[in-house]
Amino acid sequence: MIYNEAPQNSSIGYILFQYDLYPEKIEQFGKVKKVISRKGTFALKESTMTTEQANWFSHVMRRLEKLNYNQIIPIIPTKYGDLTISHKNRTYYLQPWFSEEDQIREEQKETTLFKQLGKLHGVTVKPQEFSKETIENSCQDLLKRWEKRRLEMEYFAEEAERKTYISPFELTYLTHYSRMDMMANVAVTYLKEWRDQCLEKESYRACLCHGKLDRNHIFYHPNGYGYLFNFERAVLDTPARDLAISFRRSFQYNLWSEDQGSDWLATYENHILLEEEEKKLFASYLMYPEIIFHCIDHYRKRDGSITELQYVQVLEKRIITMSRVDHFIHNTLLRKNSDECK
């Protein structure tokens, strides 16, 4: 019999009842509740996924299980077999609580991450039914978005130039603006090359993409393996995009080097080789200076929480990263490609 003995939060009671969990202690860590019970310690995640998204999320997790991809932190089903619970416009799911993280070396973290990403893409990749419209539309959508962003940045540059006293941040941006603009143009060229090659080959591939994988979404187990989690934004998409997202997100942890990029790509490609046109798309995503533009967005909305000097440091670090990305693309990614062609 279930009595309402501890109903300070009836929502939690409603959710944990469906797992037959009677907590001894609950601790809050952001959107995650650590639930300590006789059954064990669990992580209850609260998410903003809609019912439709939650259904897709459940489908993804079940599919990965079916494919025997077990490098993920499992979702514990309710006693009724559901992987998620929808309650008051929120979605909840339960996972085992892991706390014993291995003392993994910093540089090793991304290697493990790209290994797992490669495996994930490798087991789920599938050629898609060719549709000219899909290729054309996705290319045009991206071109439009990029052009809009580029114009915003051009406007920011023009505004800065008109000022009598230019701030150090603006000066740094203006110094590198023409190179960033050129990189945006090169990204567009690669994107168009991807489109043309796809249309010529009349094929393209899609795989299950995590959508936001970086070291915050991987658990480094003492056994040396990395276990992925947070598949809330998982989608079926080209592997190039997901790889580019993880590359970009990984740039932030240290001053990234070209050699590291080569290692990451090689680790990834041990599990799935990128097609020639996918490399072009990957290159275009990386080459487009979104991380610089993103920094400008932050600067425009600055609230004094970080100083001008810190903004300049962040921007400079990102500009160096973009230079290295440029080298990585031409010296490693696409060079390997052209060497192979020879």
Partner 1 sequence: MDILRQVRMKYGLSDLKWIKENETFRSEYGSKRVRFWKDKQLLEWHVKWRDEISKQSGVLLDRMIRTEDGNPFFYCDKGWVTIHDEIEEPFPLARKEEDWGRLIGTILAVGLKQLDECHRLKKRKDLTLKAVHGGLKNDHDPMAKLVLERSYFEAKSRVRKAHILRDRIHPIKLPILTSLTRLTNAKQVFFHFFWVCGADEPVRSYKPIRNLLEEWFEKNGEASTIKLLNEINRYFTLKGDQGRLLLSECLLPYEYESAINELSTCNQSVDITTTVMDKFFQRWETSRNVVLLLSNWMEEDREKVVAK
Burial 87-126 (b: 16+ CB within 10 A, else e): eeeebbbbbebeeeeeebeeeebbbbbbbbbbbbbbbbbe
* 98 contributes a contact to partner 1 by CB under 8 A: no
Closer CB to partner 1, 21 or 183, in the complex:
21
Cβ neighbours for 327, distance < 8 A, ≥ 6 positions apart? 258
**Minimum distance from residue 80 beta carbon to partner 1 (Å):** 5
Query: How many residues belong to the site for partner 1 (CB under 8 A)?
Result: 20
Return the number of the residue (11 or 175) whose C-beta is nearest partner 1. Answer: 11
- Residue 311 CA to residue 306 CA, distance in Å, equals 7
Is residue 37 close enough to count as binding partner 1 by CB under 8 A? no
- Select the span of 2-10, 167-175, 182-190, 325-333 touching partner 1 (CB under 8 A): 2-10
24 binds partner 1 (CB under 8 A): no
If one asks whether residue 2 binds partner 1 (CB under 8 A), the answer comes out as yes
To partner 1, the closest distance from the beta carbon of 30 in angstroms equals: 24
Q: Give the gyration radius of the chain's Cα atoms.
A: 23
Strand partners, 25: 36
Q: Distance between CA 230 and CA 215 in Å, rounded?
A: 12
Instruction: Check binding of 74 to partner 1 (CB under 8 A).
Output: no
Using the rule CB under 8 A, is 40 a contact of partner 1? no
Alpha helices by DSSP H, listed for the chain, are 10-17, 51-66, 106-124, 132-162, 168-201, 239-251, 258-269, 276-287, 290-300, 308-327, 334-341
As a whole number of angstroms, the distance between CA 132 and CA 314 comes to 41
Q: Is 127 in the site for partner 1 (CB under 8 A)?
A: no
Q: Is 80 in the site for partner 1 (CB under 8 A)?
A: yes
> In terms of CB distance, is 78 or 238 closer to partner 1?
78
- What residues line the site for partner 1 (CB under 8 A)? 1-4, 7, 10, 13-14, 17-18, 20, 22, 38, 77, 79-82, 86-87
